[in-house]
Amino acid sequence: MKSTRNTTAKSAIQLLLQQSSVALSHKDIQNEVGKLCNRVTIYRILDRLVEEGEIHKIINTDGVIKYAPCNQCESHPNHNHDHVHFSCVKCDTVTCLDNVQPSYNLPPDYKVQEVNFTLSGICPNCIK
Amino acid sequence: MKSTRNTTAKSAIQLLLQQSSVALSHKDIQNEVGKLCNRVTIYRILDRLVEEGEIHKIINTDGVIKYAPCNQCESHPNHNHDHVHFSCVKCDTVTCLDNVQPSYNLPPDYKVQEVNFTLSGICPNCIK
DNA sequence: TAGGAAATGCAACTGAATTGCATTAGTTTT
DNA sequence: AAAACTAATGCAATTCAGTTGCATTTCCTA
Ligand SMILES: [Mn+2]
Ligand SMILES: [Mn+2]
Ligand SMILES: [Zn+2]
Ligand SMILES: [Zn+2]
C-alpha cells in the first residue's frame, strides 16, 4: 500500500485550516503560507488532505472552492458532510454550520452520495 | 430604460434550454448550436437570460456552471430557486428537482438571500 | 426607412487549475 | 547511522473557463 508522509508544508496548511473559523480558498492559504511552498504544492496538499478525510471541499456560490476541516469525520466515518454552509456576500466568508442539517424528500431511486448545501446572504457579523 | 432584443441566437439558446430535460453547460450549448454564433456570444446571452429571470445558474459539484430554465419564476416572482439539484456522477447530468424543497433550522441573525443545494450520486436512469 | 443602441465577432487577455519531469526530502531497512 | 526507496516538491509549460476592448452588424422604433 502507498503511504502518506508528514511534511512541513502539509502540517502547516492543516494547522492553518484547523485554527481558522472560516473556510479558506487556495489563494487565502497561499497568502498565509507565503513562500513556505510552491502554489502547485498547495493544490496537491489540499487534494491529499481531502483524500485522507481531514478536510472537505465547499463550492462557493461564485464557483470558488474553499476548504474546511472535517469535524464530524472521526465520529461518523462514512458521513457525507451533510451540513449547511453559509456564504456571506458582505464579508465574503464561508462558514461551516456543522450542526445544521437540512431535510428533504427525494423521489425514489435517487442514491445520494454527497451533499453540497450552501446558503448565501448576510452573516451575523455583518447584519448590524 | 435599456431594452433587450430578441435575436436568433438568443431565441435558439432559450429554446434549447427549455426543451432539455437536464441542465446545460456553456460547452453543451456550444456543441449544440455549432456555428450559429460565437462562443463569447453564448456567454453573453446566458448572462442576459439570467438577468431577465428566464434561466438560473447551477454550480455543479465539480465547479462547472450549468443552466436551466426557471419554471417557478412566473408564479413566484421573488423566489430564490430554493429547489434541489441532482448531479449524477455516472451520466454527468444535472437535473432540477423543482418541487423538492429542503428545510433547515438556521441560528438567528442569518439573512438568507440565495440557496444552492446540490446532491450528487446516482440518478434513477443509471441506478439499474 | 433612417438613426441610435443593443448585440455580435474576433483577438487578446486573465486566473484557476493541471501536467511532466527533474530534484529533494521523509521513512524504512539494513 | 547510512543507504535505499519512493512520496513530495519546484518549476515551467499547458489547459480550460471565462472576460474584455473594440470595430462591425443587426435589431427596434420613431
Ligand atoms: Mn463544512
Ligand atoms: Mn434548478
Ligand atoms: Zn459577513
Ligand atoms: Zn445518471
The mean pLDDT of B21-44, rounded to a whole number, is 96
What the block records as the C-alpha cell of B89 is 456522477
Instruction: Say if residues B59 and B25 touch (Cβ distance below 8 Å).
Output: no
pLDDT of residue A73 exceeding 80: no
Q: Any idea which residue has 450552501 for its cell?
A: A118
Q: How far is the CA of B52 from the centre of ligand 3 (A)?
A: 28
Give the chain B residue whose CA is nearest to the CA of A60: B59
User: In this structure, which ligand is nearest to the CA of B125?
Assistant: 4
Looking at every residue in chain A, the average pLDDT score rounds to 90
Domain boundaries, chain A: 4-127
Q: How high is the pLDDT of residue B3?
A: 83
Model confidence at B111, in pLDDT bands (50, 70, 90)? very high
Is the per-residue pLDDT at A80 higher than 70? no
Contact call for A113 and B121, based on CB within 8 A: yes
Closest Cα in chain A to B105: A100
More confident residue, B72 or A28: A28
How far is C-alpha A59 from the chain's CA centre? 9
Partners of A56 in the β-ladder: A68
How distant, in Å, are the alpha carbons of A42, A63, B51, B65 from that of B112? Answer: 32, 18, 20, 21
Fold for A4-127, please state it. Arc Repressor Mutant, subunit A (1.10.10)
Q: Å from B53 to nearest chain A CA? A: 17
Span B42-57, pLDDT tens digits: 999 999 999 999 999 9
> In this structure, what DSSP letter does residue A50 have?
H
Task: Tell me the CA–centroid distance for residue A79 and ligand 4, in Å.
Answer: 22
